[in-house]
């Protein structure tokens, strides 16, 4: 029997005609990159969609984090961060020659535990770089209070936060700067891409400069990098944006189906109060690593490939000098699995996946 491969995610692609219509325009203008008209349009439209007017489209979500650190003037020093994220959160810190200081996470939201942040602050602390894991908000109010008190900056890696809201506002609106990733595995994508969200004119201008080599004509203002997005990437984003509400709606249906079908004993993420969720991921936390391996093995036999997000806990990376112990993050990282979730995942597939997991589950 041949089963079609099911991965943890599948990239949404707009109708070919819609993309080729955009290509036609690019050919007519002959303007391929350097803040072209489609990049400008994307910044405007995505900014409107999220309610965030100062949105800077860049080449990916990792360089977005590096630009955030640069634009806030953070060079060297300690950055308080979460061990439970994709590796890019930590690599951006290291690439900017700062030192990650890991603070353990909360078991319920999987985000950094704000109550443990103050104990990690030293005179060398420059910023808190936290992640809204799987689109669940960090304790944004508590973190803001701590940051104000200690005069440090707050950056949110919002790679999972596109379209999610907290207290009626875009989750990406919190922090001195928030970033997002528009990679093809993410909820909203531009093939490769990301954005930096700012809230004041001075920071906004800095981000614009940094993403284009730090100069404006012959005036060289500061050290920059090449983080420009091209017209081809913007075109993909503009085509996809039209479908984003439908995509989120479809994912919500699948989310609810998993919730209904999976055994009660399997730990799922609770949707928090005041949150409108974006259904970007469907993580489950099982009893132990042995059970996780059994579940993965059983699913792989059926050509189904969930992903161990996030594993390992980042404080365990071989190239970070870390004496930090993050027992909660290390424990969760060993037992968490993200299940397939995408716009056209069939109900039958969700039933099959849930059945396999329920069967493999032993209390």
- Least distance from C-beta 63 to ligand PLP, angstroms? 7
User: Smaller CB distance to ligand PLP: residue 52 or 131?
Assistant: 131
Nearer to ligand PLP, 171 or 357 (CB): 171
Contact 56, 233 (CB under 8 A): no
| CB distance 327 to 313 below 8 Å | no
Identify the residue among 26, 58, 88, 236 touching ligand PLP (CB under 6 A).
88
Backbone φ and ψ of 23, nearest 5°: -60, -40
Contacts with ligand PLP in 153-172 (CB under 6 A)? 157, 159-160
Q: Shortest approach of ligand PLP to residue 17 CB, angstroms?
A: 27
- Is the CB of residue 177 less than 8 Å from the CB of residue 198? yes
Query: Please, which residues bridge with residue 337 across strands?
Result: 284
**Closer to ligand PLP at the Cβ: 163 or 194?**
194
82 binds ligand PLP (CB under 6 A): no
CB of 228 to ligand PLP, least distance (A): 14
Q: How far is the CB of 138 from ligand PLP (least distance, A)?
A: 12
* Alpha-carbon gap, residue 68 to 218, rounded angstroms: 24
**Window 43-62: contact mask with ligand PLP (x via CB under 6 A):** -----------------xxx
Per rule CB under 6 A, count of chain residues that contact ligand PLP: 14
| Closer Cβ to ligand PLP, 60 or 315, answer by number | 60
DSSP summary character for residue 137: P
Taking the least distance from each CB to ligand PLP, the nearer of 113 and 357 is 113
Dihedral, 289, 290, 292, 293 alpha carbons, nearest 10: 120
DSSP 243: T
Shorter beta-carbon distance to ligand PLP: residue 105 or 262: 105
Q: Phi/psi at 326 (nearest 5 deg)?
A: -130, 75
Q: Interface with ligand PLP by CB under 6 A: which range of 7-15, 80-88, 102-110, 208-216?
A: 80-88
> Would you say 121 or 338 has its CB closer to ligand PLP?
338
Residue 96 sits in the site that holds ligand PLP (CB under 6 A): no
Q: How far is the CB of 88 from ligand PLP (least distance, A)?
A: 4
Report the alpha-carbon distance of residue 55 to residue 249 in Å, rounded: 24
Q: Which is nearest to 231 in space by CA: 11, 17, 41?
A: 41
User: Which among 97, 159, 167, 102 is positioned nearest to 128, based on CA atoms?
Assistant: 102
Q: How many residues can be counted in the chain?
A: 363
Helical H segments across 86-166, by residue range: 87-95, 140-150
Nearer to ligand PLP, 133 or 357 (CB): 133
Chain residues 119-138 in contact with ligand PLP, contact rule CB under 6 A = 131
**Is there binding between residue 183 and ligand PLP (CB under 6 A)?**
yes
Residue that is written with structure tokens 């990159």 in the block = 33
Among the listed residues 12, 84, 86, 258, the single contact to ligand PLP using CB under 6 A: 86
Spatial strand order of the sheet with 194-197 comes to 55-58, 194-197, 177-181, 153-157, 125-131, 78-81, 99-102
Interface positions with ligand PLP (CB under 6 A): 60-62, 85-86, 88-89, 131, 157, 159-160, 181, 183, 194
């Amino acid at each position: 029997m041949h089963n079609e491969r099911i991965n943890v995610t599948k990239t949404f692609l707009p109708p070919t005609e819609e993309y080729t219509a955009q290509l036609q325009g690019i050919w007519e203008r002959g303007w391929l990159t350097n803040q072209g008209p489609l990049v400008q349009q994307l910044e405007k439209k995505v900014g409107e969609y999220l309610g965030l007017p100062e949105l800077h489209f860049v080449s990916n979500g990792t360089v977005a984090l590096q630009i955030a650190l640069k634009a806030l003037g953070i060079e060297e020093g300690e950055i308080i961060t979460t061990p439970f994220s994709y590796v890019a959160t930590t690599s951006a810190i290291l690439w900017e020659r700062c030192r990650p200081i890991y603070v353990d996470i909360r078991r319920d939201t999987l985000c950094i535990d704000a109550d443990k942040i103050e104990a990690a602050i030293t005179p060398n602390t420059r910023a808190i770089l936290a992640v809204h894991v799987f689109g669940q908000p960090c304790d944004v109010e508590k973190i803001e209070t701590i940051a104000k008190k200690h005069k440090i900056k707050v950056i949110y890696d919002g790679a999972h936060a596109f379209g999610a809201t907290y207290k009626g506002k875009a989750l990406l609106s919190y922090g001195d700067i928030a970033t997002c990733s528009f990679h093809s595995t993410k909820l909203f994508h531009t093939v490769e891409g990301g954005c930096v969200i700012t809230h004041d004119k001075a920071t906004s201008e800095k981000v614009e400069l940094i993403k284009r080599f730090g100069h404006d004509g012959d005036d060289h203002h500061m050290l920059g990098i090449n983080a420009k997005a091209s017209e081809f990437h913007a075109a993909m984003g503009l085509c996809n944006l039209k479908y984003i509400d439908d995509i989120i709606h479809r994912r919500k249906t699948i989310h609810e189906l998993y919730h209904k079908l999976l055994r009660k004993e399997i730990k799922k993420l609770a949707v928090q109060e005041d949150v409108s969720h974006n259904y970007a991921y469907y993580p489950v936390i099982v009893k132990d690593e042995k059970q996780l391996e059994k579940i993965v093995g059983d699913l792989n036999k059926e050509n189904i490939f969930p992903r161990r997000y996030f594993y390992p806990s980042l404080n365990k990376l071989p190239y970070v000098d870390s004496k930090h112990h993050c027992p909660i993050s290390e424990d969760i990282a060993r037992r968490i699995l993200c299940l397939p979730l995408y716009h056209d995942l069939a109900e039958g597939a969700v039933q099959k996946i849930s059945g396999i997991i329920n069967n493999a589950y032993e209390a």
